[in-house]
Amino acid sequence: MKLSNFAFLPPMDDIKNELIQRMKKDFPDLDILVFDDENEVLENIHIIEAGYGWVSPEAIANAKNLKWLANPIQEVS
């Protein structure tokens, strides 16, 4: 699977910021997208091919090009 973009989804933290720098260096042809809030995600979810972070059910419903997603966040009620 060849990707043209990879999105880092909110919330941002030091680990994600380090990964962004490493991916930009290791994959210079990959468009790295960084979204700071849910509104940005909702506006752009239709173009995201792969991502790392939490995505709302509303965004997932509109994720027409999403092929891969890692959600490292575990919600505790």
- Interval 31-69: pLDDT, tens: 999 999 999 999 999 999 999 998 999 999 999 999 999
Strand partners, 67: none
pTM of the model: 0.87
Residue predicted with more confidence, 57 or 72: 57
pLDDT number for residue 3: 94
9-to-19, 47, 67 alpha-carbon distances in Å: 12, 13, 15
CA 44 to chain centre: 10
Give 1's pLDDT tier (boundaries 50, 70, 90): confident
Round to whole Å and give the CA distance between 18 and 42: 24
